[in-house]
Amino acid sequence: MAEFVMNAGGERFRFASLKELMAKASPLRSGDQLAGLAALSDHQRVAAQMALAELPLSHFLNEALIPYEQDEVTRLIVDSHDAQAFKAIAHMNVGDLRNYLLNEQVGAAELAALAPAFMPEMLAAVSKLMRIQDLILVASKCEVVTAFRNTLGLSGTLSTRLQPNHPTDDPAGVAASILDGLLYANGDAVIGINPATDNLQAVTTLMKMLDEVIQHYQIPTQSCVLSHVTTHLEAISLGAPVDLVFQSIAGTEQANQGFGINLALLDEAYIAALSLKRGTKGNNVMYFETGQGSALSSNSHHGVDQQTCEARAYAVARRYKPLLVNTVVGFIGPEYLYNGKQIIRAGLEDHFCGKLMGLPMGCDICYTNHADADQDDMDMLLVQLVSAGVNFIMGIPGSDDIMLNYQTTSFHDALFARQISGKKPAPEFEAWLQQQQITDDHGHLALKQQLPKAFDVVSKELRK
Amino acid sequence: MSDDKSNSLVTKPALAELVIENPWRSLQKHTNARIALGRAGSSLPTKAHLAFQLAHAQARDAVLMPLDYQQLAEDLAHFDLGVKHLRSQACDRSTYLQRPDLGRLLDEPSKQTLANDLASYDIVLVLTEGLSSAAIGENASSMLAAFLPRVVGLGLSIAPLIIVEQGRVAVGDDVAHALGAKMVAILVGERPGLSSPDSLGIYFTYQAYPGIEEAKRNCLSNIRSAGMSVDDAAFRLAYLIEQANQLGYSGVELKDKTESSNAKVGQNFLLP
């Protein structure tokens, strides 16, 4: 294991290992403090960043943060690394990589070609040297397009997951939120519900309900019930209508064990999902959620800082060519990301690392009530992520998730983001919205006092 | 610049047209989700925006406003069990929020206070603000008033009531261990939801010790005026205590058979 020394501002700093160097170079966040990994002073942090800038990228091929023998995520990262693609950047150090990524000549094609050359740790390292504007600029060059029943991630588009959660999964309550979302032009990334329980029957009931709604209204979108991957496998074997298979994932083998998964199980689920062939525009069939702090929360971080653990989770995601990857950035609470400033930076870091690895990144721009954050902080992150080209965000009635008790972006927020950026929903979904006269030719909401004709059955309910 | 020109640009917009209401408002009967809020342009109308800000302010206040410990101690004194006032190792609110590990441990003077109590007890009741001082301030006394007669009815000996400043659920394990109490129930303010800033939780553990697994606890959640009533919670907690005392364990294996499914099930009205 290498030792790193850096003289900075008249003081000499030592870092005993690569993982210590990376942790000390991380911009301040409460989770790294909780783990006892954070820099002890701002001075030490910048010294670590300077040392990291001088580190050759090839060093990451030789020093694993978590030993190869102990961790299947490390094995996945090492074994899937594309040495041929890496040749183009093998002569760079981390600081050079930052300079290269910022170059105007480097665009979507170059970044897509380099995606298999990037180990997640390299991207985590370079992100630690970046300001917010760097994270935005570089990520905005990437275009990661995926497809199932519509086409997501095209530049110039911004999609939303319609999240119609209800504390008891009451069908009328879920239906009310779905209707609200559709009529506010949301739901092209997925109509995805967090079930109140992981009970198989309850989950398959919701799957059927979402499927019937999508079929009846001919909505060019896909459904997902965010239950455990094993529940999906059972549902598939029972013939339930599964569009996307969902799972929460993390960046270490042990943390994934805490989620009740490993790569073999994910392989099995991926094959099962592909076999259904329910996609019409493409066959990206997986939906993953991640978030900084998940490895530490199960004490499975191996002394690796939380942002680097998060980037490693993207190596797991990448294996399965997902339709959607969602970093749920502020959900975990203030012991990992204390305030709006920490949440905002983390969201942009995750989006940057994921995009450069070639993933269709979205972000659950969110906070809990015990975090020092509010709607203004979320507006800042939303605007910044839209500038960075985020593929999708959440959409929920009035920002208030009454089941999970946290606040995320609302249907209105998505309309705001589209309005200021000129971005549109996925093209197939946009055509449907216009056909239903929910939006006009300019993409503005057109609906006033009359529901669309296709929703006559709802009008009957309203007259009750 | 003449006034006439500006007047012709903005021609007295009709107030009734500033907000576009949604015709599906009546669906609010099916859910507490914030549906059919209407729109100003594409954005939230002023009324819905401020309603949200109010709910968030109340939730933040519940997290940050200090609990009035003196008032609480006075209220608890009426139960004639004695009251002890202890502290966790989280010295202030900011530390508490960032260091859950410290909120789980009693500080040294508090441990000493308990070690000096040589009596043995069947059950100790602990109160801590957790993440919502409003939950304890508004619900704890009425919860105890509903619950204590039931414990007395079971013939169990009850320790002095314990207030812990800045505690997490597991601080109850430290209390039970230091006091040598057989069972512990901790009343704790839950993480406030936007529409539920005052929600009280109760965690019950049989033979707790520092570091006991979470799976050994039973939990009652969402105790507040608009959620589970204190009478219902008192009935369920007494049931759990009686069962645990007979069976010799608590946790996932001890099923709350009082559970009744009284949720109304609505229909999916999106389909014919």
What single string gives the DSSP state of each residue in B10-35? S----GGGTSB--TTGGGGGG-SS--
CATH class of A146-435: alpha beta
Residue with tokens 């936007």: B194
Q: Both ends of chain B: CA-CA distance in Å?
A: 61
> Any idea of the CA torsion for B231, B232, B233, B237, to the nearest 10 degrees?
100
Residue B30 and residue A415: Cβ atoms within 8 Å?
no
Which superfamily is assigned to B67-247 in CATH? Ethanolamine ammonia-lyase light chain (EutC) (3.40.50.11240)
A173 touches B at CB < 8 Å: yes
Sign of the torsion formed by the C-alpha atoms of B220, B226, B230 and B236:
negative
B168 DSSP assignment: -
- Out of A165, A178, A334, closest to residue B97 by CB: A334
Could you give the 3-state DSSP secondary structure of residue B72?
helix
Please tell me the distance from the alpha carbon of residue A359 to that of residue B77, in angstroms, as a whole number: 60
Tell me chain A's radius of gyration from C-alpha atoms: 22
Question: Cβ distance B81 to B145 under 8 Å?
Answer: no
Q: What angle do CA B253, B257, B261 make, to 5 degrees?
A: 125
Please tell me the distance from the alpha carbon of residue A273 to that of residue A271, in angstroms, as a whole number: 5
Residue B100 and residue A462: Cβ atoms within 8 Å?
no
Please tell me the distance from the alpha carbon of residue A340 to that of residue A382, in angstroms, as a whole number: 12
B252 to each of A135, B126, B186, B216, B232, how far by Cα in Å?
45, 21, 17, 6, 20
Count of residues for chain A?
A: 464
Which residues of chain A does B262 touch, with a Cβ-Cβ cutoff of 8 Å? none
Domain extents for chain B? 18-26+36-62, 67-247
Please tell me the distance from the alpha carbon of residue A333 to that of residue A291, in angstroms, as a whole number: 11
Please tell me the distance from the alpha carbon of residue A307 to that of residue A414, in angstroms, as a whole number: 27
Please tell me the distance from the alpha carbon of residue A102 to that of residue A137, in angstroms, as a whole number: 7
Angle separating helix axes A94-102 and A120-128, nearest 10 degrees: 80
Residue B36 and residue A180: Cβ atoms within 8 Å?
yes
Please tell me the distance from the alpha carbon of residue A96 to that of residue A126, in angstroms, as a whole number: 9
Which residues of chain B does A335 touch, with a Cβ-Cβ cutoff of 8 Å? 97-100
Question: What mean pLDDT comes out for the span A82-109?
Answer: 98
Residue A91, burial from CB neighbour count under 10 angstroms (0-12, 13-18, 19+): exposed
Residue B27 and residue A334: Cβ atoms within 8 Å?
no
Domain extents for chain A? 146-435
Number of CB atoms found within 10 A of residue A281's CB = 17
To the nearest whole Å, the CA of A332 is away from the closest chain B CA by: 12
Residue with tokens 């959640």: B221
- Out of A213, A370, A449, closest to residue B271 by CB: A213
Question: Cβ distance B98 to A34 under 8 Å?
Answer: yes
Position B52, amino acid: F
Backbone angles phi, psi at A171, to 5 degrees: -55, -40
A335 touches B at CB < 8 Å: yes
* Portion 207-236 of A in contact with B at CB < 8 A: 209, 212-213, 216-217
Name the region of A103 (left: φ>0; alpha: ψ -120 to 50; beta: rest). Answer: beta
Which residues lie closer than 8 Å to A95 by C-beta, 6 or more apart?
A53, A54, A129
Position A204, amino acid: T
Per-residue pLDDT tens, chain B, 272 aa: give them: 445 555 678 888 999 999 999 999 999 999 999 999 999 999 999 999 999 999 999 999 999 999 999 999 999 999 999 999 999 999 999 999 999 999 999 999 999 999 999 899 999 999 999 999 999 999 999 999 999 999 999 999 999 999 999 999 999 999 999 999 999 999 999 999 998 889 999 999 999 999 998 889 999 998 998 889 999 999 999 999 999 999 999 998 887 766 544 556 789 999 99
Nearest alpha carbon to residue A63 among A12, A114, A122: A122
Confidence of residue A461 (pLDDT cuts 50, 70, 90): confident
Chain segment A146-202, per-residue pLDDT in tens: 999 999 999 999 999 999 999 889 999 999 999 999 999 999 999 999 998 888 998
Residue B33 and residue A398: Cβ atoms within 8 Å?
yes
